[in-house]
């Protein structure tokens, strides 16, 4: 039997809470981090897409990583940090800085976005990062954002590179590549789902866990869903998975993380639902629907 990878279970890619005037709200972020880990998450992801990392200043990014690192140390949990760039040299520099800072278990790195270097170029990119970045890597396979799909053969080649410890698989569907990947994952290589709506069937098919934005809301239930499938409690897992799929669909009815932030604000867990341009706050009606599925009425939703 293949040994379990280091990264399995639920990882929560935290939102970045802002005040109404769009300043970072560090106390709210610290509470969210602690709540996620207390709620059963195996670890956290900082500076992912859900964190609006593209809009954060360098100083804000350092603050976010520091807050999440503190929470992970307190819970003896791993921290994954997003590093996104289509320039290999810049990505190596960012990875080395993270490695020097310590307290980061792995970096979540997408295939080079926008420029579409092809699978050979993508493999060369990750080879350079693995050789020179100085820290473990989780490949972020999300072709609808990067424009670059990865075949099962390329993923297998990536999994054999020293220092690449897993993949966040976000292809928008359970397709032939997904089935081949889950049929016999490489030993110690984590396959983590990232399509929230289909996380239940992904784990049922053999994924080791997930990096699930929807788990900012109802963390305990998403953690329990993964645990149920791993324990073989299929009937209960299917029922919970269907319920959470409806929640995830509602949370992604408008661009991520606008609805999630609206719900967290409705639950009085963050000071405002504010997002930074080019995102716009989610509409009242969308937040209300998602909040009801999350178990909280949207009393404080922003106007449509």
pLDDT in tens, the chain (304 residues): 345 678 999 999 999 999 999 999 999 999 999 999 999 999 999 999 999 999 999 999 999 999 999 999 999 999 999 998 889 999 999 999 999 988 999 999 999 988 999 999 999 999 999 999 999 999 999 988 888 889 999 999 999 999 999 999 998 888 888 888 888 878 889 999 999 999 999 999 999 999 999 999 999 999 999 999 999 999 999 999 999 999 999 999 999 999 999 999 999 999 999 999 999 999 999 999 999 999 854 443 444 4
Neighbouring C-beta atoms of residue 173, cutoff 10 Å: 9
61 is catalytic: no
- Are 116 and 125 spatial neighbours (Cβ–Cβ below 8 Å)? no
- Are 107 and 82 spatial neighbours (Cβ–Cβ below 8 Å)? yes
Residue 304 is predicted with a pLDDT of 41
261 is catalytic: no
Tokens at 299, concatenated: 């009393």
β-pair type (190-193, 106-110): unpaired
Residue 300 is predicted with a pLDDT of 37
Residue 3 is predicted with a pLDDT of 59
At CB < 8 A and 24+ separation, what contacts does 173-180 make? 173/198, 174/198, 174/201, 174/202, 174/205, 176/152, 177/150, 177/151, 177/152, 178/202, 178/205, 179/205, 180/152
- Are 127 and 162 spatial neighbours (Cβ–Cβ below 8 Å)? no
Tokens at 246, concatenated: 């409806």
**Which residues are within 8 A (CB) of 234 and not within 5 positions of it... i.e. 6 or more apart?**
204, 228
Measured distance CA(144)–CA(142) in Å, rounded:
6
User: Model pTM?
Assistant: 0.94
- Are 219 and 10 spatial neighbours (Cβ–Cβ below 8 Å)? yes
Residue 170 is predicted with a pLDDT of 94
Which stretches within the chain are classed as H helix?
A: 26-38, 58-75, 88-101, 118-132, 143-146, 152-159, 176-183, 199-204, 219-231, 234-251, 258-266, 284-294
Q: List the catalytic residue out of 11, 61, 168, 222.
A: 168
Residue 295 is predicted with a pLDDT of 87
Q: List the catalytic residue out of 11, 61, 140, 261.
A: 140
């Amino acid at each position: 039997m293949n040994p379990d990878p280091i990264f399995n279970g639920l990882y929560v890619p935290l939102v970045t809470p802002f005040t109404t005037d769009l300043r970072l709200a560090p106390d709210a972020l610290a509470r969210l981090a602690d709540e996620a880990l207390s709620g059963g998450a195996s670890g956290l992801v900082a500076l992912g897409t859900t964190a609006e990392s593209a809009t954060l200043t360098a100083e804000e990014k350092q603050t976010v990583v520091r807050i999440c690192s503190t929470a992970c140390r307190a819970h003896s949990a791993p921290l994954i940090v997003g590093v996104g760039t289509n320039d290999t040299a810049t990505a190596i520099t960012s990875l080395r800085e993270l490695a020097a800072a310590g307290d980061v278990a792995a970096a979540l790195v997408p295939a080079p976005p926008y420029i579409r270097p092809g699978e050979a170029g993508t493999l060369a990119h990750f080879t350079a990062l693995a050789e020179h970045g100085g820290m473990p890597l989780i490949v972020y396979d999300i072709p609808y954002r990067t424009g670059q799909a990865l075949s099962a053969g390329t993923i297998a080649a990536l999994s054999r590179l020293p220092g690449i410890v897993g993949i966040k698989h976000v292809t928008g569907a359970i397709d032939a590549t997904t089935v081949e990947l889950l049929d016999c994952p490489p030993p110690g290589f984590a396959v983590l789902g990232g399509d929230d709506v289909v996380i239940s069937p992904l784990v049922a098919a053999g994924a080791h866990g997930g990096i699930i934005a929807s788990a900012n809301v109802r963390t305990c239930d998403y953690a329990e869903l993964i645990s149920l499938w791993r324990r073989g409690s299929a009937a209960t897992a299917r029922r919970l998975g269907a319920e959470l799929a409806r929640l995830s669909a509602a949370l992604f009815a408008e661009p991520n993380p606008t609805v999630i932030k609206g719900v967290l604000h409705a639950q009085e867990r963050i000071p405002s639902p504010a997002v930074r341009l080019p995102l716009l706050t989610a509409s009242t009606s969308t937040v209300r629907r998602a909040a009801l599925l999350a178990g909280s009425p949207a009393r404080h939703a922003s106007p449509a």
